[in-house]
Amino acid sequence: MSFGHPALLLALFLLPLLASAQVLARRRARRYAVRFTALPSVRAAVGSSGSARWLRHLPATLLLASLAALVFALAKPQQTVAVPVERGSIMLVTDHSRSMQATDVLPDRLRAAQAAAHRFLRQVPSAVRVGVVTFSSSPDAVQRPTNDHTEVQRVIDLQVADGATATGDALQTALDTLASDRQNGKRPPAAMVLLSDGKTTTGRDPVEVARNAGQLHIPIYTVALGTADATVPNPGFGPPLPVPPDPQTLSDIARISGGKAFTAEDSNRLASIYKTLGSQFGTRDVKKEITSGFVWAGLGLLLGGSALALRTRGGLP
């Protein structure tokens, strides 16, 4: 919970002062009552049981609680709720370099990534426009954000694992696409999802691109795919080539741009990540004011305390 005017909550510190003032007033009343010769008859009329004494304090307690509720209401309490997005653009940036041939993620990295992307597209609402950049040695396919998610799926399915890894160039292509994207003359909220399984081997520095994306308020969510001991066949002669993922660089990309980093060492984990991201991009957090609840609570406590106070006083002769 947050507050629109949190400074008003300082008024809550006055409540203990009010409670102390009430206690002092009751003590003065007792000292005066000692001089009253008819004190035994008053005690007999009112009663001296513990429950009666407790009831005498209850109206003041309810009054203080009502004042606390009304102070909270004046501070405009707000609650964060998730609501469906009305517009937005997402670019999937997917790696299909030679290292995606590795079979540490079944059936292999590329086909596991394609299946996860399908799940992502099923999860994202149609109101969210999705595009894609696929890359290996360079960005080789670009689909601008569209509400027709089948077009994005078609580009993803055409990937073949081969070539080097130009992560920075691919991110720059996706960033340029989102920066120029306009709906009704305005750039909609945007984000990127980068899936890669290896270190950048060619092109620009992806961390610098991430810094530019952060300045444009376009977060990059990264997924490091694969295990550290994975290998692929050597295209020439010699032993298999190691193809470990690069989670550190992907984590830096996410942190600098304002996104979040994930790691996936198997297809189930990858599918779960993409499903989560699809749901996340389908909603946005907004602050909803909940002042009315505190107002009604304060009024209810005030009326209850007033009624009890009248009843308690009415018991006196």
Q: Measured between alpha carbons, how far is residue 244 from residues 109, 116, 200, 281 in Å?
A: 12, 20, 12, 29
For the segment 91-126, what is each residue's pLDDT rounded down to a tens digit? Answer: 999 999 999 999 999 999 999 999 999 988 988 887
**Closest by alpha carbon to 213, among 250, 254, 248?**
254
Distant-in-sequence, close-in-space partners of 261: CB < 8 Å, separation ≥ 6:
221, 222, 224, 247, 250, 251, 253, 254, 255
Neighbours of 88 (CB within 10 A): 20
- Is the predicted pLDDT of residue 290 greater than 60, yes or no? yes
The pLDDT value recorded for residue 58 is 73
d(CA 100, CA 112): 10
For the segment 61-95, what is each residue's pLDDT rounded down to a tens digit? Answer: 777 787 787 777 777 788 775 555 556 899 999 99
d(CA 272, CA 193): 14
Beta bridge partners of 94: 134, 195
**Closest by alpha carbon to 147, among 100, 88, 201, 204?**
88
The pLDDT value recorded for residue 57 is 64
Helices 291-314 and 50-74, axial angle in degrees (round to 10): 150
For the segment 234-263, what is each residue's pLDDT rounded down to a tens digit? Answer: 888 889 999 999 999 999 999 999 999 999
Greatest Cα pair distance in the chain? 115
Residue type, 40: P
Mean of pLDDT values over 269-285: 74
For the segment 160-215, what is each residue's pLDDT rounded down to a tens digit? Answer: 999 999 999 999 999 999 999 877 778 888 999 999 987 899 999 999 999 999 99
The pLDDT value recorded for residue 276 is 80
Please give the mean pLDDT across all residues of the chain: 82
- Is the predicted pLDDT of residue 132 greater than 80, yes or no? yes
Kindly state the percentage of the chain with pLDDT values over 70.
80
- What's the predicted TM-score (pTM) here? 0.66
The pLDDT value recorded for residue 316 is 40
Confidence of residue 315 (pLDDT cuts 50, 70, 90): very low
Q: Cα(first)–Cα(last) distance of the chain, in Å?
A: 48
Higher-pLDDT residue of 1, 133: 133
Q: Residue 136 in contact with residue 97, Cβ under 8 Å?
A: yes
The pLDDT value recorded for residue 317 is 42
- Is the predicted pLDDT of residue 8 greater than 70, yes or no? yes
- Is the predicted pLDDT of residue 20 greater than 60, yes or no? yes
Lowest mean pLDDT among 41-50, 228-237, 283-292: 41-50
| DSSP per-residue codes, 294-311 | HHHHHHHHHHHHHHHHHH
How deeply is 89 buried, as exposed, middle or buried, from its count of CB atoms within 10 A (0-12, 13-18, 19+)? buried
The pLDDT value recorded for residue 300 is 80
Q: What are phi and psi of 218, to 5 degrees?
A: -115, 95
Q: Residue 255 in contact with residue 261, Cβ under 8 Å?
A: yes
For the segment 40-49, what is each residue's pLDDT rounded down to a tens digit? Answer: 555 555 444 5
- Is the predicted pLDDT of residue 24 greater than 90, yes or no? no
The pLDDT value recorded for residue 278 is 74
The residue whose two tokens read 């107002």 is 295
d(CA 266, CA 250): 17
